[in-house]
Amino acid sequence: MKSRSLKQDKVNIITLGCSKNLVDSEVLSGQLKANNIDVIHENGKLDHNIVVVNTCGFIDKAKEESINTILDQVSLKQKGRLDKVYVTGCLSERYRNDLESEIPEVDAWFGTLELPFLLKQLNADYKSELLGERLLSTPKHYAYLKISEGCNRTCAFCAIPLMRGQHVSRTMEDLVKEAEHLVKNGVKEIMLIAQELTYYGLDIYKKRMLPDLLNRLADVEGLEWIRLHYAYPSKFPLEIIDVMRQRDNICNYLDMPLQHASDNMLKAMRRNITRNEMQDLLQAVRETVPGICLRTTLIAGFPGETKDDIEELKTFLQRERFDRVGIFSYSHEENTSAHDLVDNIPPAEKEARAQEVMEVQQEISYEKNQEKVGKTFKVLIDKKEAGRYIGRTEFDSVEVDNEVIIQSSGKLMPGSFVNAVITKAYDYDLEGEVV
């Protein structure tokens, strides 16, 4: 196939990494569309002539995936199937100088705060009046809402502040306006995201404003579910949980990355919290919202981690019985404070430890899912796949959590809610029937 250089440009955006990156790609798409430029996300066909790769630079595996994707696109350009390849996002922000000389075939590199320059390169103008308007890449009924950018924390392992800068909150007015706009266009569920949700407001309002923001968002008519991702545990403002209890459309769901449970590791990771403090916090959260679904993320193989530390983490999981757990193997990132430590655990051992921890969680997850059999839940239908409907309860977020698989002879519309009784449960998924 020939490139489209003689025709009108068509831009394909490829997004790697997390939901925050996805939102950036959606904002870029919205800006291009407003400039009357043909734009598509993750185009399966090769009928575009320009590619923007929005990269991730969080850990080794993500960097590798980003570089492979760039190389694939460069190879298409060399075969004459693309006119231009541009790269943006975290990897580009962090390693632009090295990458420019290593992959000179890329036409231009952009950092995370350079959207106007990227648009200029694509013959588009940045339209500030579009604040919050974006082309969703998710199904019509749910969307992510990024409430702030960057992070002021100093977790030893984390490269995110290097790529995303200091915490910058968006104003409540903008966020409410955006939520209203999304709901008007069919969104039923909004997932609040940020590098660190609980810090929201401290920069622009000089106090933590997440509880106020939640109340304002919960007032948006037609918004059925609001879900909270990525809350930092140290000095966690419990008012957030009070609002969750008071407002029906805030899901009883909290994603709170804890990273570890051994005090040695928490201290080395600079998490500003101890195991006992975390236990007290979890107890307070559960007492305020009984039945709340708690999700956490952990790291295995941080420098100096001992077998005893891993045992402590496993005991903590058995005690706290989280509903959902994700785990990463530690990645030794330049320019983080942990990089000064010796990365003394071999990769295979890191993986083995992560696996060991997940085995503990797998059993807990299976037991918790079994307790749901026979109970009825409100389920949001996400899609139809292989003749079955796939949905989620308020206790499950998109992609990372359980799915509810529903066989139904009647037609169920994606974006609609049904009541379903759970008939079967597995480690990480449920089966149900509409009642």
Which residues sit at the interface with ligand SF4, rule CB under 6 A? 151, 153, 155, 158, 160-161, 195-196, 232
Query: Could you count the other beta carbons within 10 Å of the beta carbon of residue 30?
Result: 18
Query: Could you count the other beta carbons within 10 Å of the beta carbon of residue 32?
Result: 25
Minimum CB separation of residue 377 from ligand SF4 in Å reads: 31
Question: In this complex, which beta carbon is closest to ligand SF4, that of residue 11 or of residue 23?
Answer: 23
Minimum CB separation of residue 361 from ligand SF4 in Å reads: 20
Mode of pairing for the β-strands spanning 50-55 and 38-41: unpaired
Distance of CA 25 to the CA centre of its chain: 13
Separation CA 282–CA 272 (nearest Å): 16
Separation CA 34–CA 368 (nearest Å): 47
- Residue 76, classified by CB atoms within 10 Å of its CB into exposed (0-12), middle (13-18) or buried (19+), is middle
Minimum CB separation of residue 153 from ligand SF4 in Å reads: 4
Can you say whether the dihedral through the CA atoms of 317, 320, 326, 332 is positive or negative? negative
Question: In this complex, which beta carbon is closest to ligand SF4, that of residue 31 or of residue 329?
Answer: 329
CB contact burial 160-188 (16+ within 10 A = b; e otherwise)? bbebbbebebbebeebbebbbebbeeebb
Question: In this complex, which beta carbon is closest to ligand SF4, that of residue 254 or of residue 422?
Answer: 254
Q: What are the φ and ψ backbone dihedral angles of 306, each rounded to 5 degrees?
A: -105, 170
Minimum CB separation of residue 94 from ligand SF4 in Å reads: 14
Minimum CB separation of residue 167 from ligand SF4 in Å reads: 8
Question: In this complex, which beta carbon is closest to ligand SF4, that of residue 132 or of residue 161?
Answer: 161
Minimum CB separation of residue 160 from ligand SF4 in Å reads: 4
- Report the candidate in 279, 334, 287, 319 with the shortest Cα–Cα distance to residue 159: 334
Q: What are the φ and ψ backbone dihedral angles of 390, each rounded to 5 degrees?
A: -115, 125
Separation CA 210–CA 51 (nearest Å): 37
* Residue 339 DSSP one-character state: G
Question: In this complex, which beta carbon is closest to ligand SF4, that of residue 129 or of residue 334?
Answer: 334
Minimum CB separation of residue 233 from ligand SF4 in Å reads: 10
* Residue 259 DSSP one-character state: B
Minimum CB separation of residue 280 from ligand SF4 in Å reads: 20
Question: In this complex, which beta carbon is closest to ligand SF4, that of residue 161 or of residue 211?
Answer: 161
Question: In this complex, which beta carbon is closest to ligand SF4, that of residue 152 or of residue 288?
Answer: 152
- Report residue 402 as tokens: 């359980």
Question: In this complex, which beta carbon is closest to ligand SF4, that of residue 11 or of residue 90?
Answer: 90
Question: In this complex, which beta carbon is closest to ligand SF4, that of residue 244 or of residue 269?
Answer: 269
| Torsion angle defined by CA atoms of residues 22, 23, 24 and 27, in that order, rounded to the nearest 10 degrees | 130
Minimum CB separation of residue 146 from ligand SF4 in Å reads: 13
